[in-house]
Structure 1
Amino acid sequence: MKKFINYCLALCFTISLYNIADAQVRKVPAEVTEAFRQKYPSALNVEWRDRLSGFTAAFDQDKVHYEAKFTNKGFWQSTENKIEDANIPGGVKDGFQKSKYAEEWNIKQAYKIDLREAKTQYRLDIQKNDIQKKQLFFDSTGRLLRDNITL
């Protein structure tokens, strides 16, 4: 019984720490909100998250959900949105099929990432099993730029 109570207390403590860490630490600076308004004037349901090195705005526009990242000074860095498998460009699909991951890994989700200087990347969240998961980043031509291990 004592172990159960200790376990419950540890669980409550962990949940509390997670909620504190995920909370908005500071107010979003005016230059960040103004830069967001200029870039996305028709955005709806805007929610801000503080990432210490910058801010992320989650919002809806034209019935699509987006996440835009800004620096602390209000400079836009990137915007990403989830895309359906059917909307993954042919070059990116081809790049995945030619990669070492094509045989044993499956695409779980795909994202389009708009970057500065009118560049676009695509992120494929892939999974081999419940434990092995990765993110693959491709340019618009289907060239694999990098891969990241995820949890």
Structure 2
Amino acid sequence: MKKIVLLIAAFAGTISFVSAQKLPSSKVPAEVKNAFGKAHPEIKSVNWEKEKDYFEAGFELRGHKISEVYTAKGVLLETETTIKVSELPVEVTTYVSGHYKGAAVKEAAKIVKADGTIRYEAEVKGKDLIFDAKGNLVKN
């Protein structure tokens, strides 16, 4: 019985480590806060999370929910912006309607990597499907 309890505790600890954790601003490295502040001096309200070794800033700008992912040194890795489902490339909605009969895209986002690579995210049936800029499935 002890082994089962220990196994469950270890598994639960692993799950919480893998998922994002809310973080007070005081726990965010100065390099990250400085980089964010330089990029967005107008933003006063930021929600911070930590996932693995990265720091994610969540905020709203001009009616869009945005999140940016930074390294501990303050290097921006990607920006994810919510968009209307109608703003997804037509190839994305075509893929969804062909592979998920009767399902709708619940949320959509445009992801811009630091190197300029564009990805689209479509949440369908609780899954985040990732597409390239041309609407080709990259990850499901």
Aligned partner of 2:137 in structure 1 is 144
Matched, 1:94 2:94: yes
Partners of 1:92 and 1:83 lie apart in 2 by 13
Give the CA deviation at 1:31.
0.8
> Which whole-Å deviations, capped at 9, do the CAs of 1:33-77 have from their partners, x for residues lacking one?
111122223324112122241111111222322111111111111
Residues 91, 104 of structure 1: alpha-carbon distance in 2 compared, 3 angstrom cutoff: closer
Partners of 1:126 and 1:89 lie apart in 2 by 15
Aligned partner of 2:35 in structure 1 is 35
Aligned partner of 2:103 in structure 1 is 105
Structure label with greater radius of gyration: 1
Moved over 3 A (4+): 94-98
Taking structure 2 as the reference length, what is the TM-score of the superposition? 0.73
2:43 partner letter? A
Residues 23, 87 of structure 1: alpha-carbon distance in 2 compared, 3 angstrom cutoff: closer
Partners of 2:87 and 2:52 lie apart in 1 by 33
Conserved? CA contact 1:92–1:140, under 8 Å: no
Aligned partner of 2:13 in structure 1 is none
Q: Which runs of 5+ in 1 are unaligned?
A: 1-17, 128-132
Residues 108, 124 of structure 1: alpha-carbon distance in 2 compared, 3 angstrom cutoff: same
- Identity, in percent, stands at 28
Partners of 1:23 and 1:62 lie apart in 2 by 24
1:125 partner letter? E
Within the candidate set 115, 118, 126, 1:117 is matched to 115
Partners of 1:145 and 1:23 lie apart in 2 by 28
Partners of 2:91 and 2:114 lie apart in 1 by 21
Conserved? CA contact 1:123–1:138, under 8 Å: yes
Range with bigger deviation, 38-47 or 62-71:
38-47
